[in-house]
Structure 1
């Protein structure tokens, strides 16, 4: 049995799908199993990473677990709790989804979000793998509504480049680490094959769609207002603002070789992702 937390999220849902396709026994932890769309044969159980009792119940009988426990500041207790629950349940192997730049003092507070969870994973005594992905290619789905309407999409990152990574590559490596002990004790930095700015991504997306994808570069004031309007607290917004500055100043202009080394093939490009998801940006009929 392999438990997948965050099972309906961007990475977790793909991990579930890939494990099920391989015939593995999978349990998906989700807030509302009745609404979760999971492959046939996958067991959905109710729970949330902030609800320790539900996590402990979901871990029962699992031999491996994919851990997704940080969605903002203040999650350290719950991130460590996932690891503690796995140990208590007798789970042998854990794979933690972290973030690129974790521990980098130049990144500011954002770099500390995953540190307690990573430390708990390394100190767990279990077989462990940590995944540190860069910016998801799927983040540009946030542009979809504007693109469909022909309006400029918001750009929070200025001209900063990032090693945009396809979530499918992250999930494929997560599955490999869940199934193969050869990945134990490794921390993988996951990027695409090139770094791209938001404007370069928009240009690629425009070529794929056959129409221009204009962007509106948000000022720092606009960025913060947008984050606060989304319901994020001031500490959360300030952390993301600092991360955006770090990126805009070139701090995440990184291409790592872990994806091709683990998968034995080149990392997928943003163009490939955009081509496979063009329907999400198509104008409404």
Structure 2
């Protein structure tokens, strides 16, 4: 039985939901964050400070942990995953679940495909039971459109008509919880998608119907995509990698649907429409 589960990235999109679901199950959870004072977690969850760049903080956070959910910081040249796995290995944590990304290791995807390669390798070589999760594009990524929608402007389209198996983050988190508490997922690498592929214009059409207002999508040029990435705080190298990745999606390279979510959870994966309906208030209802 899992005695203590450590969740890194505990205030992020996936990590916070993993914490919530584990706490709802009654599991003992330790949430790792660089800012414990700002963390909002369910009652009973232990919040600890930890920073990948401070090995001493990781050592303390890993004390007594028997399973860990690993959320690295992707990007060119980062070693966060490897450093974290080294600390986990030293602590003797017997079960690891790593959040990776769809297409990891695929050369056609460009530089972004390498961002999780080292971390995945470190997890596989850790000596622990491991599971790797490679989710497709998150449905929640469209929350970045909220300001444009409220202003009545077209939403930015980086990937043209390229369809993707857009996945609900709640499904990814639920799969992560299963992998953390069930032995049957050891040694598995799961590509996690929604039940269908959908493009940016398709998502905009769904939101238009749900919000009851007209929405359009505007294709961004390569230079606009690069400026968009830099505005997110990406460096030049990461922005250039995003250009290659978005072109890959535009060509249909990420038109992937897998049965992993329903096979693991025993129910259908949520659609983008379901996610949008449940979160429509975050876009500002008409």
For residue 47 of structure 1, report the CA deviation from its aligned partner.
1.7
Q: 2:32 aligns with which of 29, 42, 63?
A: 29
The runs of 5 or more residues in structure 1 that have no matched partner are none
Q: 1:119 aligns with which of 118, 121, 128?
A: 121
Counterpart position of 2:141: 139
Task: Give a deviation string over 1:197-244, Cα, whole Å, max 9, x none.
Answer: 000000011111111222221111111122223332110101111111
Quick one: distance in 1 between partners of 2:170 and 2:144?
A: 18
Task: Give a deviation string over 1:112-152, Cα, whole Å, max 9, x none.
Answer: 11011111111111010000000000000000111122111
Counterpart position of 1:222: 224
Counterpart position of 1:40: 43
Contact 2:196 2:257 in 1 (8 A): yes
Counterpart position of 1:9: 12
Which residues in structure 2 correspond to 1:232-243 (within 5 Å)? 232-243=234-245
Q: 2:75 aligns with which of 72, 76, 80?
A: 72
Q: 2:191 aligns with which of 183, 189, 192?
A: 189
For residue 193 of structure 1, report the CA deviation from its aligned partner.
0.3
Quick one: distance in 2 between partners of 1:157 and 1:87?
A: 39
Counterpart position of 1:246: 248
Deviation beyond 3 Å, 4+ runs, structure 1: none
Q: 1:259 aligns with which of 239, 250, 261?
A: 261
Contact 1:149 1:283 in 2 (8 A): no
For residue 283 of structure 1, report the CA deviation from its aligned partner.
5.0
Quick one: distance in 2 between partners of 1:231 and 1:67?
A: 22
3-state SS, counterpart of residue 87 of structure 2 = helix
**Greater shift in the superposed pair: 48-57 or 117-126:** 48-57
Contact 1:70 1:114 in 2 (8 A): no
TM-score, reference length from structure 1: 0.97
3-state SS, counterpart of residue 267 of structure 1 = coil
Quick one: distance in 2 between partners of 1:52 and 1:246?
A: 37
Is structure 2 residue 167 aligned with structure 1 residue 149? no
For residue 157 of structure 1, report the CA deviation from its aligned partner.
1.2
Quick one: distance in 2 between partners of 1:133 and 1:235?
A: 23
Quick one: distance in 1 between partners of 2:105 and 2:111?
A: 9
Counterpart position of 2:278: 276
Quick one: distance in 2 between partners of 1:27 and 1:129?
A: 19
Which residues in structure 2 correspond to 1:87-98 (within 5 Å)? 87-98=89-100
Quick one: distance in 2 between partners of 1:50 and 1:191?
A: 32
Quick one: distance in 2 between partners of 1:51 and 1:159?
A: 43
Counterpart position of 1:51: 54
RMSD: 1.2
**Greater shift in the superposed pair: 188-197 or 208-217:** 208-217
Quick one: distance in 1 between partners of 2:71 and 2:63?
A: 17
